[in-house]
Amino acid sequence: MQKYTGETPVLVAVDCIIFGFDGWNIKLLLVQRNLDPEKGKWSLMGGFMQPGESPDDAANRVLEHRTGLKNVYMDQFRVFGGPDRDPVERTLSIAYYALIDINKYEKQLNDDHHAEWFLPEEMPELIFDHNEMVKLARRQLMYKAALHPILFQLLPEKFTIPQLQALYEGVYQTKFDDRNFSRKLLSTGLLIKLAEKDKQSSKKGAFYYTLDQSHYEENFESFLNLVPNPNKFFQ
């Protein structure tokens, strides 16, 4: 493996960790690498930042080029700079993560780079330090989800409480008590109950809800109690 000696410039890249929700499962979007080294192996969506380009612009350009996805809001969360993280050149990577509704964006995906959705427990081994990037991005997602109702970005406009519970259980990789979760969720004052029911999952059906945007800012702190003992997930 080539070692960095200080005689060559340090390159700057961006990598995008895209989490999606299909209605019942959290998934991760990966692509097959199309160049050496590690050609044909699975990877996050990454690329080098161009001169005159901001990290945010680079992340959006790379994501659209590698997958076809555009207009996706991404959070920058960490710089990865291990001296041996890239076997070819000394490279810093600015990592971003995003939350999307898979059904909303599915038609944008192109087949040029064989982008595929994977369940976290079925994720293949990734190149370089991408496994570590995914691990830390999931920790960041847990942290933000415990403090703010950001997971609503993964839901369709109308959703059921079982769907939202499945989403939280997928993020935290744990099982929540059905009654307690429903009670805490409804007590936030952020949901509007609709007359329509989803009868695909049971004969009785589950009522649809939508997010009450008008009371979002004043009530979002009520989500602090939705996840029991959130600190245990960050150890």
What pLDDT, in 10s, does the model give residues 171-203?
888 898 999 999 988 888 889 999 999 877 666
- Domain 11-147, classified CATH 3.90.79.10, yes or no: yes
Q: Check residue 223 and give its pLDDT.
A: 64
Check residue 138 and give its pLDDT: 92
Mean pLDDT in the chain?
86
Query: 102-141 pLDDT, tens per residue?
Result: 988 888 887 776 789 999 999 999 999 999 999 999 999 8
Give the CATH fold of the 151-233 domain.
Arc Repressor Mutant, subunit A (1.10.10)
pLDDT band at 144 (very low <50, low <70, confident <90, very high): confident
Task: Give the domain ranges of the chain.
Answer: 11-147, 151-233
For residues 224 and 62, which has the higher predicted lDDT (pLDDT)? Answer: 62
pLDDT (0 to 100) of residue 1: 42
pLDDT score of 6 more than 60: no
Q: Please provide the size of the chain in residues.
A: 235
Looking at residue 63, its pLDDT comes to 93
Residue 234 has pLDDT above 60, yes or no: no
Q: Give the residue with greater pLDDT, 21 vs 227.
A: 21
Residue 230 has pLDDT above 80, yes or no: no
pLDDT of 4 higher than 60: no
CB atoms within 10 A of CB 230: 16
- Tell me, what's the pLDDT at 59? 96
83 pLDDT above the threshold of 60: yes
User: 2 pLDDT exceeds 70?
Assistant: no
pLDDT value at 157 more than 80: yes
